[in-house]
Structure 1
Amino acid sequence: MPFALVLLGLAVFAQGTSEFMLSGLIPDIARDLGVSVPAAGALTSAFAVGMVVGAPLMAGLGRRWSRRGALLAFLLAFLAVHVAGALTDSFAVLLATRVIGALANAGFLAVALVTAAAMVPPDAKGRATSMLLGGVTLACVVGVPAGALLGQWWGWRAAFWAVVLLSVPAVVAVARSVPGGAADTAPGPLRGELRSLRGPRLQVTLLMGALVNGATFCTFTYLAPLTTEIAGLDGRWVPGVLALFGAGSLAGVSLGGRFADRRPGPVLVAGGAALCAGWGLFALGAGEPVLLLALVLVQGALSFGVGSTLISQALYAASGAPTLAGGFATAAFNVGAALGPWLGGMAIGAGFGYRSPLWVSAGLVAAALATAALALPSRAVAVSPGQARPGPRDA
């Protein structure tokens, strides 16, 4: 795998830290800015909404930019809004910075996905995707717990400043390592790419991805109160719990990358069934600290193993849309990231308690499995790379 993929992963790490770190900061932000915990949880949904809107929009706008230039522009914008977020005392302004930062993150990730796919042979998209998403899981392992610790020591704003500092070397790395000067390649007609995105296999895969990712974020957003209010652990355990989820996520992405190109079907079917059962077991046993810690690790692995496989399958299915594929995959997965915390917050606000997001997560994965079952007769999902007929490499 090209070393440039590792450096792209560094930039994704900085952005993933920002996206996920709010899980350990939600109670502090709510207290500091005078809003409820579910309202503060909307910051995660706001980021996801920005990703949904921004991914296809930014991918479309950047079609004729050089990939390096587009990546740098998005990363610099991301850095700037985090400075604004760290300085504000207004929840409304913070909410706006999350949306704008998400637009920049969405554009970066959309371009990075197609850039990564173009750097490897046509049948290695799964491995390239898993390497890129390794930055996201590393953010869960290191960045998110570190952000939670910074929030406990110096307040939640310190975590935002840390993201700013992380983004600076990422800018240098992208500028020096990603190929592409004035222009990389002339894109095909936009209408042709949009037409290729109407394929049933792609639509089913994106729907499944949205549901699985919704389940992940539904619970992940409220891991802090689950740890303290349900399991009864001290608040100092929260960074460790987040790190445990991240460790599982890293393992899941690594294992998923090994099998996503060759055997996606078993990963999706067996992994999805285990994921659904795990969320239900988590809901029943969340009051037991040992079981909570074990299931945080397992569910992190299953969530990201299945999720990364679905992303690679979406790239295979959208081979006719080389510049827009990453944008639509990013958008679909962030539909879930917006829907999940919102549904979890609704369940908590309705008085069902902090266990309720776990049941919502189980239901979302069950819906994804039902979608897969309905699609099986038409072979709409989990087609091998050889059957996917990927287009020429878009270098």
Structure 2
Amino acid sequence: MPLAVIALMAAAFGIGTAEFIILGLLPEVSTGMDVSITTAGMLVTGYALGVVFGGPVFTAAALRISRKNMLLTLLIMFIVGNVLSAVAPAYWVLMLGRILAAVCHGAFLGIASVVAADMVPQDKRSRAISLVFTGLTLANIFGTPLGTWMGQSLGWRAPFWVIGLIGVISFVGVAALVPSSPNEAQGRTLHSEISAFRSGQFWLAFAIAGLSMGSLFAAFSYITPLLTDVAGFDSGWMTGLLMIFGVGLVIGNLLGGRFADKYQIGTLLVAQALMVVVLLVFALTAQLPVIAVILLPLMGGAGFGTVPSFMSRVIDSAGEAPTLAAAMASSAANGGIAVGSFLSGLTVEAGWGYTSALIVGAGMAALAIVVTVVSARTERRALVAA
């Protein structure tokens, strides 16, 4: 695999750490900024909105420059966003820094997926995409836990300085290793990119992305109270349990990339079906801590096992206009995450218990199976007709 893909993976590690770090530092940010926990929690919402809306908008505005220059510009925004967060004298400055970093997130992962896929043979495209997203999954194992510890020990600003440094290192790596394509931007216009939106397969791939990620995060949104209040774990176990979950993310992502090149639809269906089974079993056995330890990595693996397939499917369905499509896929995934978290929140607030979040996730995964089957059959009919 080209070293350039490793450079993109390193950047994704920094981006993933930046996304999740705030979850472990809300009390410290609340105290340091003299705002309520609820107000501090809006930093999570602001970041999510930056990913959903900012990524496609920025990608569309930058279509006339090469993808490498787009990646470098996004990394500059990422560095500036995290430095702003580190030095923020007021809450609104911190929010601005988070949104800048989020815009990078939304556009970078999509564009990096296209770049990685273009650097390898056709039969290794999904594997290259999975390596980019491996950086995102490794952030859950190492970046976020270490950053949380650092923030709690040295102050909440310290992790943002380190993440900014990771951004600088990633910038150097991308600048040195990602090949330039001087003529790549010629002929790429917003109209040509949007033309891909007319494809029915394009929208079905978006739905698969949103439902697949939504199913995972519908369950994961309430994983801490589920494990402590229902399974009976002491809060001190949470770091280790979340690292186990992160290991599942990494393995699932890598296996998904390995099989998606040959069995794209099959990989999606197996991962989605596994998610349904795991979440339903988890809901029935949530009070058993040993079973929870077994199911956590399976849940993470099933969730991220879909990522290489749906990303490569979006890129393939976009034809000659993959850049905006890939950024939109990241937005669709994050949109699904927002919907899944919202729906599971409604069931918990209704008094149905934390296990209801697992049921919501299983329902979304089942719906993802239906959409995937429809997509496969539609594609097959189109091939027969041709």
Q: When the two structures are superposed, what TM-score results if normalisation uses the length of structure 1?
A: 0.87
CA distance in 1, matches of 2:365, 2:75: 32
- How big is the shift at 1:255? 0.7
Residue 202 of structure 1: aligned partner: 202
* 1:361 to 1:91, Cα distance in 2 relative to 1, 3 A: farther
Residue 342 of structure 1: aligned partner: 342
Counterpart of 1:222, as a letter, is Y
Residues 209-240 of structure 1 show CA distances to partners (whole Å, capped at 9, x for unaligned) of 10111122233343333333333323332221
Residue 393 of structure 1: aligned partner: none
2:245–2:296 CA contact under 8 A, matched in 1: yes
Counterpart of 1:3, as a letter, is L
* 1:300 to 1:22, Cα distance in 2 relative to 1, 3 A: farther
- How big is the shift at 1:196? 2.0
* 1:99 to 1:353, Cα distance in 2 relative to 1, 3 A: farther
Matched residues, percent identical? Answer: 35
The 5-angstrom pairing of residues 175-186 of structure 1 reads 175-180=175-180, 184-186=184-186
1:144–1:243 CA contact under 8 A, matched in 2: no
* 1:162 to 1:225, Cα distance in 2 relative to 1, 3 A: farther
2:249–2:303 CA contact under 8 A, matched in 1: yes
CA distance in 2, matches of 1:203, 1:244: 34
Unpaired runs of at least 5, structure 2: none
CA distance in 2, matches of 1:198, 1:171: 35
- How big is the shift at 1:57? 1.5
CA distance in 2, matches of 1:99, 1:354: 30
**Aligned-partner SS, 2:64:** coil
Residues 340-362 of structure 1 show CA distances to partners (whole Å, capped at 9, x for unaligned) of 33333344444444333322212
User: Is 1:365 equivalent to 2:365 in the alignment?
Assistant: yes
RMSD: 2.8
CA distance in 1, matches of 2:153, 2:62: 40
CA distance in 1, matches of 2:216, 2:76: 28
**Aligned-partner SS, 2:322:** coil
* 1:147 to 1:344, Cα distance in 2 relative to 1, 3 A: farther
Residues 302-321 of structure 1 show CA distances to partners (whole Å, capped at 9, x for unaligned) of 10012322112111111231
Residue 354 of structure 1: aligned partner: 354
User: Is 1:233 equivalent to 2:233 in the alignment?
Assistant: yes
CA distance in 2, matches of 1:127, 1:276: 25
Residue 85 of structure 1: aligned partner: 85
Counterpart of 1:141, as a letter, is I
- How big is the shift at 1:122? 3.2
**Aligned-partner SS, 1:324:** helix
* 1:164 to 1:228, Cα distance in 2 relative to 1, 3 A: farther
Residue 243 of structure 2: aligned partner: 243
CA distance in 1, matches of 2:337, 2:30: 20
CA distance in 1, matches of 2:365, 2:178: 36
Counterpart of 2:170, as a letter, is A
CA distance in 1, matches of 2:92, 2:355: 28
2:65–2:185 CA contact under 8 A, matched in 1: no
CA distance in 1, matches of 2:242, 2:354: 16
Comparing 146-155 with 308-317, greater Cα deviation is found at: 146-155
- How big is the shift at 1:376? 4.5
Larger RCO, structure (CA 8 Å, separation 6 or more) = 1
CA distance in 1, matches of 2:25, 2:231: 18
1:24–1:242 CA contact under 8 A, matched in 2: no
Residue 392 of structure 1: aligned partner: none
Residue 333 of structure 2: aligned partner: 333
Residue 278 of structure 1: aligned partner: 278
1:248–1:298 CA contact under 8 A, matched in 2: yes
Residue 319 of structure 1: aligned partner: 319
Counterpart of 1:46, as a letter, is G
Q: How many residues are treated as equivalent by the alignment?
A: 384
Comparing 293-302 with 172-181, greater Cα deviation is found at: 172-181
2:5–2:131 CA contact under 8 A, matched in 1: yes
2:28–2:155 CA contact under 8 A, matched in 1: yes
